[in-house]
Amino acid sequence: MHVVLKGVFPILVTPFDDQGEVDLRSFERVVRFMAEIGVDGVTILGVLGEANRMVDAEREVLIRSAIAAVDGAVPVVVGTSHSGTEATLGLSRMAENLGASGVMVTPSREPVPHADRVFETIQTVAEGISIPVVLQDHPVSTQVHMPTPLILRMIAEISGIACIKEEATPTPPKITALLDGMEREVTILTGLGALYGRFDLERGSHGFMTGFAFPEVLIAMVKAAREERWDDLAEVYQRYLPLIVYEQQPGVAVRKEIFRLRGLIDSGRVRHPGGSMDAKTGEMVPKVLQSVLGDVDLTKPLVV
């Protein structure tokens, strides 16, 4: 499937059962729900998907499951990052062979940072596959800082890069710098749970690739930005900001619990060594949802 990397590409959770095994039934339920609410694509095996806690066999099963569940309705982008370049390439080739429409890749941290090694990693992956590469710029999780000139060089010289997932704070000025400096057009999708979503869209971001548990909100924000209804964009962002902020706590436990409350996964379990919520945080989740959303049925698509 040809993929246009604009709009909303939610990062999906990877559900686990009480024994810590991948829960494919819940995973497929999440994938189908996302397609039904009108997202532009889905992204699996990202940070929210706990990709760093998966073995290759589990990755393969999840890719197969996602592609079967969407049944051609939307493209599937697969996170294939690994600490080794050849391993990243191998995972990317596996994703392509299984039918993925694109891969999301970030370079790995080295004891001595070296811009050329970063460039070579992304170049090797992009030249080794025929599907688009989303270059993820997320130093919080990777501890790799890619300055704007390096990203612009990669855009200019690596034709397989089709999108930048921009998550290096502060994101708005970096988005402007990237758009102004590009020699060819690639899209920019932002993440960080939509924490700076309004400001990213006002700077020209083409949408979101993030794990916020209510993609319906992100869809409404992108639509308002496309139609240049900036007051409406600000109103939607402001209305849901307390939930966006609460979800964006370190780790994935809060977000997985909200997915569970939405009826999309059976358990909010986080795979070890990831931590679960403490009791007080768990008590706060329904209160925050109630204060922001009111008495809506969380299991139904949210009307924004």
Provide the annotated active-site residues.
Answer: 165
Alpha-carbon distance 164 to 141, whole Å? Answer: 16
For residues 44, 45, 47, 52, the Cα torsion angle rounded to the nearest 10 degrees is: 170
Pairwise CA distance, residues 301 & 35, whole Å: 11
- Cα 127 to Cα 213: distance, rounded to the nearest angstrom: 34
**For residues 39 and 10, is the Cβ–Cβ distance under 8 A?**
yes
- Give the Cα separation of 96 and 290 in Å (integer): 41
Query: Which amino acid, residue 32?
Result: R
Three-state DSSP class for residue 90: helix
Beta-carbon contacts of residue 55 (< 8 Å; ≥ 6 apart)? none
φ/ψ of 203, rounded to 5, equals -90, -5
Residue with tokens 């940072």, as numbered in its chain: 113
13, 211 contact by CB (below 8 A)? yes
Helices (H) and strands (E) in the chain, counts: 12, 8
Q: Which amino acid is at 50?
A: E
Q: What are the tokens at 191? A: 């993440």
Q: Which of 105, 112, 13, 33 is nearest to 74 (CA)?
A: 33
- Write phi, then psi, for 77 (nearest 5 degrees): -105, 135
